């Protein structure tokens, strides 16, 4: 007896993108803004360093203090505008709560220990582990601190209350410096993770 012919199911439904287009665009614009601000910020720091070191001119941007300030302001406006769009779309789509929450101390410790032992699975790029969730939430807060301390450095008189809350102008300079150092540390770890899991870079480029 012959088996009945298989029914034609038609073309398979396309799989939704792991990262939607708006996320990929805002991610790369944020990356560009951070690079501009970091390199120009190092040149600005070199003009009045408060530690016993300066950054090599070859890794700075702007050529001189005035040029560095112009680049820094351009990067700042890009970071603020694009960052607000990123947060708004994440919140409106529900992605902010779905991807980054919940986070618990126990979950972070468990996933961190698994990562250190090489046992943390990266099979599903749609799901962030607890360490990733904490890192991404941290960097959002860190960028907010960068922007607020930057406002004090830019318009100290106009943002007098904010300046006082940070302990004064010089204290705000240090807050800004350490916030940028933490952001640079995050980027370094992020790049290391991308090198270990190259698929994550492909999904951020093509969405799948």
DSSP the chain: -PPPPPP---SPPPPPPSS-HHHHHHHHHHHHHHHHHHHHHHHHHHHS-SSS----GGG-SSSSHHHHHHHHHHHHHHHHHHHHHHHHHHHHHTHHHHHH----HHHHHHHHHHHHTT----S-TTS--HHHHHHHHHHHHHHHHHHHHHHHHHSTTTTHHHHHHTTSHHHHHHHHHHHHHHHHHHHHHHHHHHHH-THHHHHHHH--
Query: What's the pLDDT at 200?
Result: 81
Query: What's the pLDDT at 152?
Result: 94
Query: What's the pLDDT at 169?
Result: 94
Query: What's the pLDDT at 5?
Result: 55
Query: What's the pLDDT at 87?
Result: 92
Positions of the chain with pLDDT under 70: 1-16, 121-125
Query: What's the pLDDT at 18?
Result: 79
Query: What's the pLDDT at 137?
Result: 93
Query: What's the pLDDT at 98?
Result: 87
């Amino acid at each position: 007896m012959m088996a009945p012919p298989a029914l034609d199911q038609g073309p398979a439904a396309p799989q939704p993108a792991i990262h939607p287009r708006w996320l990929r665009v805002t991610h790369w614009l944020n990356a560009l803004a951070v690079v501009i601000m970091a390199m120009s910020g190092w040149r600005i720091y070199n003009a009045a360093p408060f530690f016993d070191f300066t950054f090599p001119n070859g890794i700075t941007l702007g050529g001189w203090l005035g040029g560095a300030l112009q680049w820094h302001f351009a990067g700042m406006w890009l970071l603020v505008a694009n960052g607000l769009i990123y947060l708004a779309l994440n919140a409106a789509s529900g992605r902010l709560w779905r991807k980054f929450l919940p986070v618990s101390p126990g979950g972070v410790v468990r996933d961190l220990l698994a990562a250190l032992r090489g046992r943390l699975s990266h099979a599903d790029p749609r799901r962030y582990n607890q360490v990733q969730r904490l890192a991404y939430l941290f960097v959002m807060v860190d960028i907010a601190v960068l922007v607020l301390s930057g406002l004090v450095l830019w318009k100290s008189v106009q943002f007098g209350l904010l300046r006082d809350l940070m302990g004064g102008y010089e204290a705000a300079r240090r807050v800004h410096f350490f916030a940028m150092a933490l952001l640079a540390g995050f980027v370094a770890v992020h790049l290391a993770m991308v090198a270990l899991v190259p698929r994550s870079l492909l999904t951020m480029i093509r969405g799948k």
